[in-house]
Amino acid sequence: MTQTTHAISLAGSVATVTEYLGFAINNILYQRGVYPPEDFQQVKKFGLPLMISTDADLNAYLAELLQQIASWIAHGTCRRLVLLITEVQSERTLERWEISIKAEPAASSSHLRGGGRKSEEEVRCEIQAVMRQITASVSFLPVIAQPCAFDLLVYTSANAQLPSTAWEPSDPQVLKRGVEVKLRSFTTSFHHVDTNVVYRE
């Protein structure tokens, strides 16, 4: 019996990274209690049971955001996505989740054309490991007892095209003197994705 493996393409890489971002955001919002548990439903993705939002407004916002991010990734102008969790009352930042996206130098080399690309299954297993760490983050992150909100920042190249006035410049909102935990990374042959969290003790 012959097993067929499918090498990931550039378009497939963009779609996979974008999909990871969407599920990572949902997972973080669920695990950190930004939205109530009843606003989520369980689905299976990357070989894992993951929670996704059922909130129509949130889903519409994320869909528009991810569509634009996918375009930026395809054009090589998206550098990182940052998810901030803040206290509603004080607006103090409690956690800063950062997902960095780098184009792989080998992506333009001839060895990829020669079949040196990673398979979709290899990429899926790597993403699965990162998702497991995000889910397990509740074991070391401080309990959030107060109502919280979230904000998303996207770092782009200076030449990135902003689609509308809905996007506006922002300061980095770095969490000073926070504790940083680096999670696993994954690569698609075309993109290298790192995930980490900085939290206030």
Give, in words, the CATH class of 10-199. alpha beta
Give dist(CA 171, CA 69) in Å, integer: 19
More confident of the two residues 173 and 79: 79
- The residue with tokens 């974008």 is 18
Q: 195: Cβ–Cβ under 8 A, 6 or more apart, which residues? A: 24, 97, 98, 99, 100, 130, 133, 134, 182, 183, 184, 185
pTM for the model stands at: 0.90
pLDDT digits (tens, 9 = 90+) for 123-168: 999 999 999 999 999 999 999 999 999 999 999 887 777 666 566 6
Give dist(CA 18, CA 88) in Å, integer: 28
Instruction: Give residue limits of the domains in the chain.
Output: 10-199
Answer yes or no: is pLDDT of 110 > 70: no
More confident of the two residues 108 and 34: 34
pLDDT digits (tens, 9 = 90+) for 7-48: 788 899 999 999 999 999 999 999 999 999 999 999 999 999
